[in-house]
Amino acid sequence: MLLFYVMPIPQANAGDVDVPLSGRVLGGCSDAAGLGVLALGLGTDGRAGGTFDLNGLPADARIVEAWLYWNGDDDGNRAAEDPANFNPAIDNGDPTVSLNGIALASPRIIGGPAFWTTGRYAYAYRADVRDIVTGNGTYILDGMDNFDDGAGGFNNGAELVVLYRSGGRPPTYVGLAEGLDLDAGNGPSSGPGTRPVVFAFPPLLADAQAHVTLFVGGAGIAGSSSLWYQIGNTAPPDPGPLQLAGSSQATELADVFNGLHNQNRQGYWDSYQLTLPLPPGTRWLAVQVASHIDTPAELEWVGTVAEIPLSCARDLFIPLVLGPTSGPPSTSLLPSGS
C-alpha cells in the first residue's frame, strides 16, 4: 500500500495562518504503464507572466493531469485595505490569469491570505489546465497583474506540473504536495516556520533514484536558505513533530533557492530539482525548506513533487510439494513481496 504522510490541513482564516504542504499519491505498483511528471518554473517579478517551454514528454506519452500554480503577495485581504482590487468571492489576491490566451476558470486558493506583516498577505493558487496542455509545446502565462499593482503587492512566480503515462516507464511512485508554508528565519507572524513533507512508499528491492522538484516563492532575492532532506528504512515518521532543519540525521544543501533554476532564470521563484540515490530497503524520503535566522530569506513554499521508480513484486505461482515426490504437486499463490 502506498502512503503519503501529512498532517491535517489547518483551516486558514482570512489574513491569518499559512498552510503546511499536504498531498496525495498519484502513481504506484498498480499502474500497468508507469507515470512520469514534469515541473517547469517561471519567475515573474515585475512581469505579468512568461513562457513555459514543455519539451520533455516521450513520444508515446498520454497526459493524465496538468496543473498551473502561481504565487505572490498582496497589500490587503479586506475591501477596506485594498478596495480597487478586492474580490469578495476569493478574498482578494490574483485569480485572473490566462494560459495560451484562455482565462483559467475557478482557480483554487491553496493557501492564503497568509499574514506576513501589516498590509502584506501571501497567496497561492492552483488551476486545472489539462484541457490546455495537450503535449510538448509552448504555453504562455499572462495576467499576473493584481499582485503587482504598485500599492505594495508583487508577483513571485508560477509552476506548470504535468503528469503523464508512458508505456516505456516502469511502475513509479509519484507524490505531490501543495500548500503555502512561510518561513523567514524565526517565521512570519502567520507561523513558526515550515513543516517537512514525508513521502512514504513500499520498501525498495533494488537501488533507485528519487527525482524531487521543490517550487518556492520569494527565492533568489535576499537572505540565506537551505534545503534539508533525509531518507530512512524504518517506519515513516510523523511530519508533525519532525524537524529536519538542524538535525544531525538530515543533510543540508545551503542556498540552493537562488532563482536560477527556472526556465527564464528570474528571481522571486525557484524550481529546484534534486536527484537522490536510494539504496534497497528505503521506505521514505523527507524534505524541508528552511530560512536562516541570521540572514533570513522570505520563503513561500508552494509545492513539491517526488518521482521514484518502484521495485514492484509480481505474484508468482510456486510449486509447493506436500506429499511424496512421486505424487502430483500442489500449487499455492504466494506473493513475492509487498
Position 76 scores a pLDDT of 61
**CB burial of residue 277 (10 Å; 0-12, 13-18, 19+):** exposed
Torsion of Cα atoms, 150 then 92 then 291 then 200, to 10°: -150
Q: How far apart are CA 162 and CA 305, in angstroms?
A: 11
Nearest alpha-carbon partner for 299 in 130, 181, 126, 207: 181
Domain boundaries, the chain: 3-335
Torsion sign (Cα): 306, 307, 309, 313: positive
Residues 6+ apart with CB under 8 A from 296: 183, 184, 185, 186, 223, 224
Position 120 scores a pLDDT of 78
Joined grid coordinates for residue 303:
509545492
Joined grid coordinates for residue 9:
490541513
125-146 tens-digit pLDDT: 999 999 999 999 999 999 998 7
Q: What are the DSSP calls for 23-74, one per residue?
A: EEEEE-TT-SS-EEEEEEEEE-TTSS-EEEEE----TT-EEEEEEEEEEEEE
299-338 tens-digit pLDDT: 999 999 999 999 876 543 333 333 333 333 322 222 223 3
Position 327 scores a pLDDT of 35
Q: How far apart are CA 298 and CA 122, in angstroms?
A: 11
Position 152 scores a pLDDT of 63
Nearest alpha-carbon partner for 250 in 200, 216, 211, 289: 289
Q: How far apart are CA 291 and CA 293, in angstroms?
A: 6
Joined grid coordinates for residue 23:
498531498
pTM, two decimals, is 0.85
Q: What are the DSSP calls for 200-215, one per residue?
A: E-SPPSS-EEEEEEEE
Which stretches of the chain drop beneath a pLDDT of 50? 1-3, 5-15, 81, 88, 90-91, 315-338
Q: How far apart are CA 243 and CA 240, in angstroms?
A: 8
